[in-house]
Chain A
Amino acid sequence: MNHLALLLTVLAYLLSLCLYIRFLSTGRELTGRLGTLLLGLGLVAHYFALLERSRGLHTVPYHDLYGSMSLFGWLLAVTYLGLELYHRQRSVGAFVLPFILVFFLAAHLAPADRLPPPALHGAVFAFHVTLSILAYAAFALSFVLSIIFLGEERLLRRHELGNMVWRLPPLELLERMSRSSVLVGLVAITIGTALGFVSVDRLTGQYWFYDPKYIVTLLVLLLYVLYFGLARTAAWRGSRASKLCVFNFAVVVLSFTVVNLYLSHSHRYF
């Protein structure tokens, strides 16, 4: 079952990626729809792969680095699919699917960690982790959208259109999609962080103790609130807001890597 779910997920994501690329080059509506359908199938198969991994470890899959990565990939795909359906725009799929695939493969082809399960557990903690990872996935998506915006804007300003520009989403739509994605991330990280404090309170009897991860998470929250507020103002709308979004995601990556691995006392992989 495990291998079957893995195989089906990889196959569905790969085919979806091929169809999205084909859609980008031909603009054929049917190809795009099939890409979306296969992404949906990939999501279902990925869910079962996560479930299997969870059973194999006798714990929820985000307790190890690779499980967290797989969950991140799954939530990235969910967020992207939601945005695609909401904004009716498929041209971004070809850029997002490689990330989803890489996260999925890296997570599931690697052996499971042998670390003891964390002290916190229960539904509140599970929601804290899931919502935090969802927020990071949404921020990653806004990063991809901002990079596409910056690339397309550069090509349009330099009058170097080539074949690609005619197929990419319009600049203003990319901005709207990026803002939607950040909004999803903000809601998720706000609730997720609040639930984290509740979990800590249940375990230790206090809401707060010093951990660099808290500081960086609040910084991330602040930076994305700033982006969301500035993105429609006169001075920032357009490429400046997109650059801020790229910078914000660099801080997220920092939080994921350096802070988690070397500085935080209470967070491992999210």
Chain B
Amino acid sequence: MEIVLVGLNHRTAPVEVRERVSFTAEQARRAANELRSRGILEETLVLSTCNRSEVYGVPPESSHECAPGLSSFLSEFHEVRPDVLGVSLYHHYDREAVRHLFRVSAGLDSMLLGEAEILGQVREAYRFAHELGATGPVLNRLFQGALEVGKRVRSETDLGTRPMSVASAGVKLAERIFGKLQERTALVLGAGAISEQVVSQLHDRGIANLLVMNRSRERAGELARQFSGKVVGWGEWDAALQTPDVVVSSVAAEEPVLRREMVERAMSARENRALFLMDLGMPRNIDAGVAKLYNVYVYNMDDLSDIVQQNRQARENEIPRAENIVDEHVGKFLSWQASVELVSLVDELRAKLREERSGFIRARMESMKHLNEADQARMEVLMDELLEKLLLEPAQRLRGEKELRRKIQNVEALRDLFLSNREKP
């Protein structure tokens, strides 16, 4: 019942290697089936995201012995030379494998600390493997624990609550003013990469209407089509500024594109409904005087970068709390694992002692011919009672005492000691 993990991530492998070792859904299904049919793993689960490819499994024998086979399999499966793959792969066993997975689902191992997507990816990978029948009792319990850790970290800490990019910080700020964006309109000035990032965030948050204004109408059309928006002709300021609640500006221009008098006119036309302006241009696209207008909120690139910096610090401050949750659940999982293994060990020990008892009695009875059958039967019963008594109390304590299970670190050593058939030295 050991656990093995072999994988690579953004820290250990460059993007060229990560690309080659990533799994599509079909590849994940094929890999899971092959790993089990070849007898490398009994239970298996493939977790593949843009930043990591990991195979979790329960090997039939020792996890340490299984790891090289698993590495070779990955190398063969993805047709990557073992020496290229070898330097990028990490291997974790048992406690470390459990801890690694729990940290992954908590977002502690992500490139962007505390990112939310990874929990959904772990959930999806587990659902996929479970439906495939590739998981068993150990991986089921392990991944259910991982999902619980992910949920707890997100609800009990601030690790994932604060925006970590300029685009998401801007969108979150808009939500501080308007609430949900489902009934709101956004105007995007410029159609470059930054605009696209913000539009993507707005789209994810359910913005109702998107207007795109760009000097190149063609590029504006592309962006608008991509996110189901509409194109507004460049320079139609009075009409364009009347409806939106959020304006995002990222235009290459020497002079401010939005001047105070333009916004003042627009505010009058829109009856002073609040207006949130995100100025992501460099130099700034919005005249500094606009920020003084009533019900107008202006945030430029520096303001948003400051927020991101503060949030990064705030997230880092949450790491110890998140690690505590991870440790708590690692302890719980190991305790469960030990209880299952120890109970199975006691059962095996009982069966072995019964077997030994039969042989022992047969051998001794040969020299005790003076006992009648009833006495012999009575002796057997007494021996059975003694064995049960000796085993019953430890078995009950193992089932009932968590602390005792935690103290027994190495079940395999106990198994070796009591159940091994090796000759005495």
Please measure, in the bound complex, the distance between the C-alpha atom of A187 and the C-alpha atom of B177, giving whole angstroms: 29
Instruction: Check: A165 CB closer than 8 A to any chain B CB.
Output: yes
**Contact between chains at A234 and B299 (CB < 8 Å):** no
A10, B132: Cα distance in complex, Å: 55
User: Which B residues lie within 8 Å of A26 (CB)?
Assistant: 155-156, 158
Q: Most chain-A Cβ atoms within 10 A of its Cβ — which of B294, B299, B307, B314?
A: B294
Task: Name the distance in Å between B87's Cβ and chain A's nearest Cβ.
Answer: 42
**Residue numbers in B under 8 Å from A169 (CB-CB):** 179
Within 8 A of A (CB), among B250-307: 268, 271-274, 291, 294-295, 297, 299, 303, 306-307
Interface residues of A in 83-119 (CB under 8 A from B): none
Other-chain contact of A165, B161, B176, B306 (Cβ < 8 Å): B176
Say if the beta carbon of A28 comes within 8 Å of chain B: yes
Query: Which residues of A from 171 to 185 have beta carbons under 8 Å from B?
Result: 171-173
- The segment from A60-68, A155-163, A219-227 that touches chain B is A155-163
Given A157-B297, A161-B307, A238-B295, decide whether A172 and B155 contact each other with a Cβ distance below 8 A. Answer: no
A237 touches B176 (CB 8 A): no
Contacts of B161 in A (CB 8 A): 27, 166
- Bound-state Cα–Cα, A83 to B164, Å: 33
User: Which residues in A have their C-beta under 8 angstroms from that of B274?
Assistant: 171-172, 237-238
- Residue in contact with A234 in the complex, picked from B177, B179, B272, CB distance below 8 Å: B272
**What is the bound-complex CA distance between A235 and B175, given in angstroms?**
23
CB of A204 closer than 8 Å to a CB of B: no
B173 within 8 A of A: yes
Whole-angstrom distance between the alpha carbons of A163 and B314 in the complex? 9
- Do A237 and B273 have beta carbons less than 8 Å apart? yes
The count of residues in chain A whose C-beta lies closer than 8 Å to any C-beta of chain B is: 26
**B179 in contact with A166 (CB, 8 Å):** no
B297–A156 CB distance below 8 A: yes
Q: Is the CB–CB distance between A238 and B176 below 8 Å? A: no
Given contacts A156-B173, A161-B307, A238-B295, contact A172 B272 (CB under 8 A): no
Q: Are B294's CB and A159's CB within 8 A?
A: no
Question: Once the chains bind, are A237 and B272 in contact (CB under 8 Å)?
Answer: yes
Is A211 in contact with chain B by the CB < 8 A criterion? Answer: no
Which of A29, A30, A166 is close to B162, meaning CB atoms less than 8 Å apart?
A166
Q: Which residue of A lies closest to B268 (CB)?
A: A234
- B100 CB–A CB distance under 8 Å: no
Interface SS majority for chain A: loop
Among B162, B175, B272, the one with the most A-chain Cβ atoms within 10 Å of its Cβ is B272
The complex places the Cα of A239 from the Cα of B307 at a distance, in Å, of 24
For residue B184, which residue of chain A has the nearest CB?
Answer: A172
Q: How far is the CB of B312 from chain A (nearest CB, A)?
A: 14
- Total contacts A to B, CB within 8 angstroms? 60
| Chain A 187-199 interface 0/1 with B at a Cβ cutoff of 8 Å (1 = within) | 0000000000000
* Residue from B268, B271, B273, B299 in contact with A159 in the complex, judged by beta carbons closer than 8 Å: B299
Asked whether A237 lies within 8 Å of B295 as measured between CB atoms, the reply is: yes
- A237 to B310: give the CA distance in the assembly, Å: 31
Q: CB distance A156 to B177 under 8 Å? A: yes
**Is B178 interfacial (CB 8 A cutoff)?**
yes
Return the chain B residue nearest A152 by Cβ: B176
Task: Say whether B172 faces chain A, with CB atoms less than 8 Å apart.
Answer: yes
Bound together, the chains give a CA A168 to CA B176 distance in angstroms of 8
Please pick, from B176, B179, B271, B306, the residue contacting A156 in the complex, using a CB distance under 8 A: B176
Contact of A170 with B155 in the complex, beta carbons under 8 Å? no
Given A237-B272, A237-B273: A172 in contact with B299 (beta carbons within 8 A): no
Q: Are A170 and B175 in contact (CB under 8 A)?
A: yes
The answer to whether A171 touches B156 (Cβ under 8 A) is: no
Beta-carbon contact of A170 and B179 below 8 Å? yes
With contacts A237-B271, A237-B272 known, is A172 near B162, CB below 8 A?
A: no
CB distance from A111 to the nearest CB of B (A): 45
Rank and list the top 7 A-B pairs by shortest CB-CB distance, nearest first. Answer: A234-B271, A170-B179, A234-B272, A238-B295, A173-B179, A171-B177, A28-B155
Q: List 24 A-B contacts (CB under 8 A).
A: A27-B161, A30-B155, A156-B173, A156-B297, A157-B291, A157-B297, A159-B299, A159-B306, A165-B176, A166-B161, A166-B176, A169-B179, A170-B175, A170-B176, A170-B178, A170-B179, A171-B274, A172-B177, A173-B179, A237-B271, A237-B272, A237-B273, A238-B295, A239-B295
Please name 10 further chain A to chain B contacts, defined as beta carbons within 8 Å, in addition to the given A170-B176, A171-B177, sorted by A numbering: A26-B155, A26-B156, A30-B155, A152-B176, A156-B176, A156-B177, A173-B179, A237-B271, A237-B273, A238-B294
